Structures are given as C-alpha cells and as structure tokens.
Chain A
Amino acid sequence: MNTAYQIVVCGGIVPDPLQTLEPISGPKGPALKNELLLPHVLDPWSAHALYEAAHLARQFPGSKVWLVSVAPKAKLQQVMMTVAQRVPLELVAIDGVANGFTDSADVAAALASAIEAIPGLDQSRLLLFGGWESASRGAGATMQMLGERLGITEQFQGVDQLTVGEDGSLRVLERIEGGQHQVSVCSAPPAVFGWATGNLREPTNNPQIGMQNMRAIMPALQKAKAAQFGAGIEFQSVTLPKAQRETRIVKDLSAEAIAKEIADWVAAE
C-alpha cells in the first residue's frame, strides 16, 4: 500500500493580530490603511494546517508538503523568512491581494489554477489542507469552493485531529456545537481538511530547514503569477465598531463586597 501523501496546504497572510487595523476606501474598493507597511504573519489557522501537514509527512516517508499562498510577493517573502524555518515545504506563490475584502470564490479560483499546475500531483494521494477560516475574511468558504473546483467531495471543516489507520483510512475529528467533536472515517484520499487549532505546538525555528527551503522559495516568488480578482462582491461600507464602553473601575471595595455585586449580577435576569 502506498502511504506517501501529497499534502497541499493553502494559507494566506494576515496582519499581525496585535496591529491596529483601519479600513480605507481605495480605487478598487475597501483596503487597510498602510496595508503594505503592516507586519504580516501566516494566517493562524493555516499555520496550524501547515504544522499538521509537516507532522503527517514525517510519519509517512515519501510524502511531500506544498504551501500555496495568494499574497503580495514582497509581503509573502517577508513572512516566508520565518515560516520557512519551521517545516520543510515547497512554496507555490500567487501574486495577489491578501486582505479581507476579496471574495472567497476568486481566491479559490486562483488557488485551484495553481494547484492544478503542480507537476505530478496525484489526486489519489492528495490531502488538501488549509485553515477552516481566515483571520481576515473569516468566511470559512475558500477551502470548500476549492475542493469543489478540484472535484473533491470528501471535505471536513474545523478539524482538530487526523489520524491514518492501518488500512489507510483517515479518521477525522471535526468541531461541532457544544464543544464536541464529530468523528468520521474517510476511506482514502483525496479529501479537504479545513483545520482548526489541531494539537501541535508551533515548531521551533530551524535555520537548516530555512536555508534548504529558501533555495526554492526565492525562485518560486520570482515566477509567481499575478491573480486578478473580479467584482463578485460590492461593499457599501466598512467601519470600525464605535462602541467604547464607559468602564467603571472598582478599586476600593473589599472582596466580599465585590463578590456580592458579581453574584447579584450573575443571578439577575
């Protein structure tokens, strides 16, 4: 039985979560103020997907991990300086807008074209990974649309665990309501996995892996094709929430008095 997997991870980049974000109106619709100056990171749930992919690939010799990303080339290069040190991967770069105002359908189309162009990709060994939602658009739609474009109808979202059985079947834990997981068994690839947090810690930086990766990453960035996104969505407004609460700061009450206030508040309808 062939147990080598071809794992394609789709992951965009997003502003570092600690950055202040402000929407502006640009010539092509909404954008982020100083978007290209903001420090970016690999989208957190996609990053989990990448770490899970690398972990799986280590367990099954002959497996390979690709990272396919739609982002402005220059920003992607900056992010890859860090990401490339974590896990062995081959980058497939697509030069395009990476903010939350793009449409999932357009991003899925760009990803599908890039994935279909990967030489030697075997659908029968393909595991398509990504984050179940991005930290930008947060729609949870791209991976499903991509799966449909590639004709993959075994799809899982909010995945926290994937284990391979002795018969090659894939046991999947997906998040569902009430803090529970749904357990499914998929007989074989291909399948789509939109990852939630998973169970792995962020790998430590390994300069050796970084150097090895970067040899192929720079050429991949240079030959990145530009993606043009359509007008599938029209924004009427994009605004920051205005509600700033008037915080009452209680400094001088005893623990007993505070407890009474809280208990009364908890019990109130």
Chain B
Amino acid sequence: MAETILFLAHTEADGTLSKATREALACAHALGGDLVLGMVGAKVAPAIDCHAVRYLAVCGEDFAAARYSTDAAAAEALYRAAGATVVVAAQTTRWARVLAGVAQRVGGRVDTHVTQLTQTSATRWLYRQRMEAVSSRPGHPWFVLVESGIAPAFTGSYTIDNIEQYSPGVSTRTVVTSRQAPKSEQQTIRPEAGLLFVAGAGWTKKQKDGRTHTDDAGRLILGFLEKSQASLGSSKSLVDLSGEGQAVLPFLSHMNQVGQTGSTPRHPKGLATCCHGEEPHVVGWRFIKERRAVNLDPNCGWARGKADVLYVADAFEVMERVNALLEERVPASVG
C-alpha cells in the first residue's frame, strides 16, 4: 500500500507558499505515495495545485502568527486528519519550532535539517556540518524537516478551492506582538542573496601604520554590501568584540555569526575578508559552493583546501577598489 505523505505548509499573508516551502514540497512530491497538502495560516485558499489527493487546512487569525501552542495544535490536527505515515515540512523557523514537539505528541520520530530524502532514509549533517550521516527510522510516523536549496521549487497555479477545514481547540498564554530587526545601521542579513560576504576580526586590528581603522572598515564593508547586495556574515571573534562594547563595527550582531556557534547559510558564493578560515568558522561554509578569501596570511586556513582562491593581500586596499569598480557597474548584478 502506498505511503500517505502529509506535506505541512504555513502560508504567507496572501495565501501563497514561500520558495523554501515549495522546495520542500518538491522533495515530498518526489517521494511518491499519496500526497496530502496540509496548510496552516490566516489565509489558505485558493491552494497551490500540487496533485495532492487531499487538501486540508487549519486557518484563521489564531493561526496567522508563528507560535508553538497554536502551530502544534494545527499540525497535530492535520496529521490526525491525514492519517499520514510520513510528514514532511520545510526547515523554516516556524516549523523548526514545533514539529519535533508534535512528533513527540503523536508518538513519532523526527529528523531535521535533512539535505536528501528518500522513502526510507534521510541524509543530514552532524557536529555542525563536520560529518554526514544517512539514517532511517524503524517506526512510524516519521516527521522530516527539509533544508532549503536542495530541490528546485515546486511550481503550480493557485487554483484549488476544495479544501477540508479543521478547527482544533487552542489554548495559549502567548501573544506574538511584532517583528524587529537587530540593532544595525541597516538590514545586513539577506538569505536570498547570491553572495555571502564574511568580515573577520582582522578588520579591527592594527594596520600598516600601526593604528586601527574601524571607521574605514565599516565604510568599506557597508559600501560593498550596498553595491553587491550581499549578505553579511562574521566570525565569532569579531562579533564578540562588538558585544564587549568596543567601538568596532557596530552593525554586527550574533545574528551575523557564521560557523560552529552561528549559522550555516546557503549562498552560491562566499567571500571572506580578514578572516583566518579556522575550522570552527569554516564549518558554517559547508553549503557555500564558490569560495574566495582575502587575507594577508598565505598559510591561513583558507589556503589549506577550504577556499577556491586565496588572495594574499590587504583587504582594505582590495575592497576600496572593488567598491569603486562595482560603483561603475550600475545596476549591481548580484542579489
């Protein structure tokens, strides 16, 4: 008998599905079996036509915001209605917050951050992207959160109106009040950017003249981000300096941190500057395909097989000229 696969999707404000969700939908689709689309959000109709055998939804204002108690209740209701043996969702912060809890609630098991999925196995990284494991689950239900960028996004028209609605009882003590950007001069984290630009602690060190030039560093980095529309990452050491109240690159926060205790972003390209490329940082580059680095040390970590190209040069001088060149090429073509 074919597996029943429930694909869980939280809808955007206009009822559509985000790119990350449609990528995960493509993964669920590729599993075969009977696909059931389960949606959660303020608005769910019309739904995307994904050739599902059933379209289910929990919708309304209670389910507009991302919140554990309501999202877990919605996911549980959809799971029970679908009678699924496998539940797939995108690794968004919203589903990552709740799906393991829902698996526990219904007696299932969960795999998260999955980078390859078949009917019987999941591939994921352990030890912060330092080793790759293929595993399977002997029992059901099996909940799986799929990383973005591992399949082309599913495309379909939003034409399905025949949606089964469910209204689970919810009780919550939490109110979601707002969203806020970190204290920065501008928004520097851009998950959809084509390029990751990483600033290391070297930007704040003494330069050839024996003095620090953090103002220049900030100007060059922000200038490059503006012109290239790159996303800004950082090494832990530089972010920690900022947190210690030193007058260094005030637009950086822990949210920018890439590596062992930071994020593992997925951009096609990455450019590291003034960063030594040590293993705890570079594990965060696991999914960056093309890597280049600018560093004064020819023996830094990037030189040891971690970058495609290492430019042994002064990043201040190089980035000043890069910015000038990008300025001449309008509009910026990365983004």
Is the Cβ of B292 less than 8 Å from the Cβ of A239? no
Residues of A within 8 A of B179 (CB): 176, 180-183
A123 adjacent to chain B (CB < 8 Å) = no
A179 touches B254 (CB 8 A): no
- Sort chain A's interface into a size bin: 35 or more
Residue positions of A touching B, CB distance < 8 A: 14-15, 17-18, 21, 23, 30, 44-45, 100-101, 103-105, 108, 135-142, 144-145, 147-149, 153-158, 160, 173-188, 192, 196-197, 199, 201, 231-241, 244-251, 253, 255-256, 258-263, 265-267, 269
- B residues whose Cβ falls under 8 Å from a Cβ of A: 66-69, 72, 92-94, 96-101, 103-105, 109-113, 121, 125-128, 130-139, 171-182, 187-191, 195, 228, 230, 240, 243-244, 254-257, 260-261, 269, 271, 278-280, 286, 290-292, 294, 298, 302-314, 317-322, 324-326, 329, 332-334
Q: Please indicate the chain A residues that have their CB under 8 angstroms from the CB of B311 in the complex.
A: 250, 253, 258, 261-262
Contact of A247 among B132, B176, B305, B320 (CB under 8 A): B305
Question: B135 contacts which of A18, A192, A234, A239 (Cβ < 8 Å)?
Answer: A234
CB-based contact A138/B312 at 8 Å: no
Complex: A160 Cα to B311 Cα, angstroms? 36
Q: How far is the CA of A14 from the CA of B128 in the complex (A)?
A: 11
Task: Please tell me if the beta carbons of B135 and A245 are within 8 angstroms of each other in the complex.
Answer: no
Contact of B334 among A100, A138, A155, A266 (CB under 8 A): A266
Contacts A186-B174, A237-B133, A266-B195 given; does A138 touch B318 at CB 8 Å: no
Closest-CB distance, A60 to chain B (whole angstroms): 19
Given contacts A176-B179, A241-B131, A249-B298, whether A135 and B261 have CB atoms under 8 Å apart is yes
One of A14, A182, A233, A246 near B137 (C-beta < 8 A): A233
Chain B residues within 8 Å of A144, by CB? 68, 97-101, 104
Nearest-neighbour CB distance to chain B for A251, whole angstroms, equals: 5
A166 to B240, CA, bound (A): 31
- A259: contacting residue among B104, B121, B138, B322, CB under 8 A: B322
Interface contacts beyond A141-B110, A247-B307: sample of 4 additional A-B pairs, CB < 8 Å, sorted by A: A45-B261, A100-B126, A179-B182, A263-B322
- In the complex where A139-B110, A183-B179, A196-B254 touch, is A266 in contact with B126 (Cβ < 8 A)? no
